[in-house]
Chains A and B, each alone.
Chain A
């Protein structure tokens, strides 16, 4: 039954939230709330309001409407306030606001609509430390065990530091979008270790060798590693790092080996996993090949060696080490690859270098040590370098390692600061080599040398270059007689000091905007460079002589000589010339005839070109432009000789006549050695970069020409050059980049395929280039597939070495199924893989141990087919068939499966 009269109130009597902070004397209406939740009083009388301690009269002093109260007079700012609400309106059994406690709830809860937590934490576990919260707008934090582990922000799910995203077994993670940060081949850089004790470093590993020896050892290795040597005063410490690690900063070493009591340390090198260290007490070897850890090798070979060991080196003062391979290396069962040969450069004693051959023997070379920097090295072709005190010279063994069998073997001059060639600044402590290139550094600057890969080295085919802060010589071929216009209009940058005389005014300007190399122009009959006749070129006779120059020619209308040496009456002349029609000519005017060799192409196009004109002899000459052969000639020009009467002019001909008016010239060279076609092409490629805008080709130090270290990248042949305040990467003769020194003064840089390791006065720093994994894998795949090679007809496709006359047997054979002794001196061999046709070639001969010096082999055509061949052996003296005690037969041709 319904109530009569006013209905009773239900709900709690509660104190209202204090809203006096909003009092300002003008705002009369304020919101009513309990614990932050708006409430709706039933009537004014259900609310008791006190302002400044005075109970306000309902309706008269205030009214309520919904969740708001409106005062008749707006309370003044600072007025005291409290209020009480006595019950709320109930709809059915609706409880009052803020009155339901947890204790009143039971069973599974289902919300009839949206559940709005309004930024409050949703606690999930019993001990209240795991929850989901959105107390920051548009962000969800998932807290587990009291720590924020995962976070959703806008479109991002973050696995916070210390948390892990696991993909369990059987689960799948699929990427249909873009994944970043997962690339193991991304670029990485950082300081590996801050330490002032690093002495030297080497990058090594199966990637460089390239034999995958790492799979044969249980010790931690990687495909590409860095080994460093530190001098800790009384000990030397070797650390091996994994350069394939994606994190370089503070990289932990794979292994650390301390050589107790071994100091001071000087250098380090490595090959096939053998790390060799140059230390005061001898040469130390460290490798992982015998066990589970990198360790110093003290037995077997190679192993620690000093003057007291067996075998021994001749002095314990080992100042440098090198590793490489003999031209015919021994097999190393530890690695499955070739056994390296090592060399040590002595710091004192009567020998300059010791070769630790792959067969365990030690061979020394006597000489005077270059005390300012003994070095050694091993070329890719198996020759050994040693330094020598005179002229800061580096020598190279005349023979490759396999043929060096005794001490004091023959050597040839290689790099030296002398009037003799190959001419360079000389070398002391900075030296490196790869392929047919070596690079050396010294206080005077940087030197390059290229040589042929001949089994027996000859300085005749060397090409050198010198670079300092002032000039870059360009390439100097062999016995150079003049290297002019290398950032000077008069100086001869070569070893002969054939300084030119400046006549008039020669214009000097950069070869291109911002370039460091300078070009020379403004040539006229008054403006030219000359030098009087000199023994360096005035008695060439019928021999070799060679002009080389870079030129840029505007359109011209007359012959313009770029360089020439000649007799005053023109009877003898050897010159290079821009012709009136824009083509170029090499003139060889000897005692017999004037022979011009002329290009078919015009080059007066205001573009830099390189001209190379040389005669090998008076009847053999060649003209190249931009590395390509233009013309050759075999007419007999006769002798180029008139002692004391062959003056030389640059920028013109006799007395400056026929000047190079429209030409700008640079790097004009005269040599009495002929380059090869390959050298010409390579010189052009290496130098052309010097002639583009902003090209840098000089040492970049702000204070010194001294070069502290050089490193040849075995992948790219680029060269890292270290000066104390400058680091440069040279590509050819052009500086490609100048990486900033990480900290302090630079000491060493090592390169490998774009990766660079730097030792400076403060730390060991590395920068690893990003790798294109898919691209590199495709290259490997392509290499595996190989080029579509033709059938190799140069190798024997079947052969047999047969011994025994009565019942012959094989000492060795290849692709031979069987041999049948058909009778005296009569044999048949059956091939395992038959030949494609009977058009194969067979030869035979007797072998050591034969009963007779002269055997004749008759290969029967009539009875041969693809599967077998019959042959007979007779004595050359009697013609009788004979079973010899030993013979061999070989078959050449195309097999059925080729």
Chain B
């Protein structure tokens, strides 16, 4: 239980109480196998194409997972999406600030242009973050990365 498997798409599977690494890998191989083909007389016309298990998923340790080549791109994408979620929340807050600025009652006395400038910064954040996390090669570092704009 709790053995880790990294999948080719970078997702991670954790083995539960009623599973096993070998069983899960065997199922993946079976699910990705192209079945053999047969003619009307039952004669095989094309062999089954069985993928190499190592191309589908690999058991890893928690430590190896942090730098695994399959995992890093996925971790980067996930982190960008998490930051995008945080940015979206901030943008919602700025929508309210923009309204307050429009009514001249912004708590920090900002006008609409100043608030709009802040929103632009946030809108341009994902590409900046993508670039930043691309330079990180450890999932711990990727998870820890937070742009200054969201701090």
Question: Which residues of A approach B to under 8 Å, CB–CB?
Answer: 800, 806-810, 812-824, 829-833, 878, 880-883
Contact = CB atoms under 8 A, between A and B. Distances in A.
B29 interface: no
Nearest to B65: A807
B17 A810 contact: yes
A829 B24 CA distance: 12
B11 interface: yes
Interface in B39-97: 62, 65, 74, 77-78, 81-82, 85-86, 88-89
6 contacts: A800-B16, A809-B2, A813-B16, A817-B16, A819-B16, A823-B77
Contact of A832 (B11, B18, B85): B18
A280 to B, nearest CB: 53
Contact of B14 (A819, A823, A831, A880): A819
A880 B150 CA distance: 15
B35 to A, nearest CB: 20
B19 interface: yes
Given A806-B139, A880-B85, A880-B89, A813 B13 contact: no
Interface string B27-45: 0000000000000000000
A816 B16 contact: yes
Contacts of A832: 16-19
Interface of B: 1-2, 4-5, 7, 11-19, 23-24, 62, 65, 74, 77-78, 81-82, 85-86, 88-89, 139-140, 143
Contacts of B86: 880
A833 B86 CA distance: 38
Contact of B19 (A817, A822, A823): A817
Contacts of A881: 81-82, 85
A821 B11 contact: yes
Contacts of B14: 807-810, 818-821
B85 A878 contact: yes
Most chain A CB neighbours (cut-off 10 Å) among B7, B17, B62 = B17
Contacts of A882: 82, 85
Contact of A813 (B1, B85, B88, B89): B1
Contacts of B24: 817-818, 830
A815 B1 CA distance: 12
Nearest to B142: A806
A354 B88 CA distance: 64
A821 B12 CA distance: 5
A824 B78 contact: yes
Contacts of B1: 810, 813
A820 B143 contact: no
A830 B19 contact: yes
- Closest 4 CB pairs between A and B? A832-B18, A816-B16, A880-B85, A817-B19
Contacts of A824: 78, 81-82, 85
Given A807-B4, A820-B11, A880-B89, A815 B17 contact: yes
Contacts of B19: 816-818, 830, 832
A434 to B, nearest CB: 39
A14 B140 CA distance: 131
Nearest to B62: A807
B89 A829 contact: no
Contact of A878 (B12, B62, B89): B89
A818 B85 contact: no
A878 to B, nearest CB: 5
Contacts of B139: 806
Contacts of A819: 13-14, 16
> Which of B11, B16, B89 lies at the interface centre, i.e. has the most chain A CB atoms within 10 A of its CB?
B16
B12 A807 contact: yes
Contacts of A822: 11
B138 to A, nearest CB: 11
A894 B9 CA distance: 32
